[in-house]
């Protein structure tokens, strides 16, 4: 596999992982400090939206690994 193909796959992987981390952090903060989140009157609905974003990026990782397998050790653990 050419280097640029591997770099693209790594970029996609890193982007998805970063987005998952961001949305996971948002959920954790909302659960721990829901009182201080004034612009979100419906905490459960807001958390559901964050979970949907996590699912979207997790799905991207699954598709990337299933249809575009890699020899990259970093990406091997993602299912």
| Lookup result for tokens 């598709």 | 63
For residue 31, what are the domain limits? 3-67
Provide the pLDDT for residue 3: 85
Nearest CA to 21 among 48, 50, 64, 63?
Answer: 50
Q: Is residue 34 part of a domain?
A: yes
Residue 40 is assigned to a structural domain of this protein: yes
Q: Does residue 36 carry a pLDDT above 50? A: yes
State residue 70's pLDDT score. Answer: 79
Distance CA 68, CA 11 (A): 13
What gap in Å lies between CA 70 and CA 20, rounded to an integer?
Answer: 20
Tell me if 47 sits within 8 A of 77, measured CB to CB. Answer: no
Residue 79 lies in a domain: no
Q: Phi first, then psi: what are they for 68, rounded to 5°?
A: -135, 65
Within-domain flag for 72: no
- How many structural domains comprise the chain? 1
User: Does a structural domain hold residue 12?
Assistant: yes
Q: What is the pLDDT of residue 33?
A: 82
Per the domain annotation, does 74 fall within a domain? no
Give the model confidence (pLDDT) of 2-20 as tens digits: 789 999 999 999 999 999 9
């Amino acid at each position: 596999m050419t280097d640029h193909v591997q770099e693209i796959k790594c970029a996609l992987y890193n982007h998805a992982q970063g987005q998952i981390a961001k949305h996971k952090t948002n959920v954790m903060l909302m659960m721990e400090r829901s009182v201080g989140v004034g612009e979100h009157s419906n905490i459960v609905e807001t958390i559901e939206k964050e979970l949907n974003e996590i699912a979207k990026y997790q799905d991207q990782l699954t598709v990337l690994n299933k249809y575009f397998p890699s020899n990259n050790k970093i990406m091997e653990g993602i299912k």
